[in-house]
Amino acid sequence: ENVLTQSPGTLSLSPGESATLSCRASQRVTGNFLAWYQHRPGQAPKVLIYGAYRRAAGIPDRFSGSGSGTDFTLTISRLEPEDFAVYYCQQYGSSSFTFGQGTKLEIK
């Protein structure tokens, strides 16, 4: 199983600042099949990034993904109040999906 480790566990920032979230895989993510999701309480998760860097439909360009192999990053610039949520990375490989444990982005 390809284990995804996200860091930090919690990130405290203010609106207007930039956030950098990390996702490290225990094995190389084949095909860069790496996605990022935003999860607000009581709502369904929403895909932000897929294929490591491709922005999903309707996602503002404040959200960007980068990385390859085993190290991936989600960057959120100019944080807005609605961005404070939990973020998960997800990978696909060997016919199986795994998620990271999540990073909580909270208002400082």
Binding residues for other proteins, rule: CB under 8 A, are 1, 31, 33, 35, 37, 39, 43-47, 50-51, 54, 56, 88, 90, 92, 95-102
Could you give the C-alpha distances from 33 to 27, 29, 56, 81, 82, in angstroms and in order? 12, 6, 14, 29, 26
Shortest separation between residue 71's beta carbon and other proteins, angstroms: 19
Phi, psi values for residue 37, rounded to 5°: -130, 150
Nearer residue to other proteins within complex by CB, 14 or 95: 95
Nearer residue to other proteins within complex by CB, 45 or 69: 45
Beta bridge partners of 16: none
64: its two tokens: 């960007």
Nearer residue to other proteins within complex by CB, 20 or 53: 53
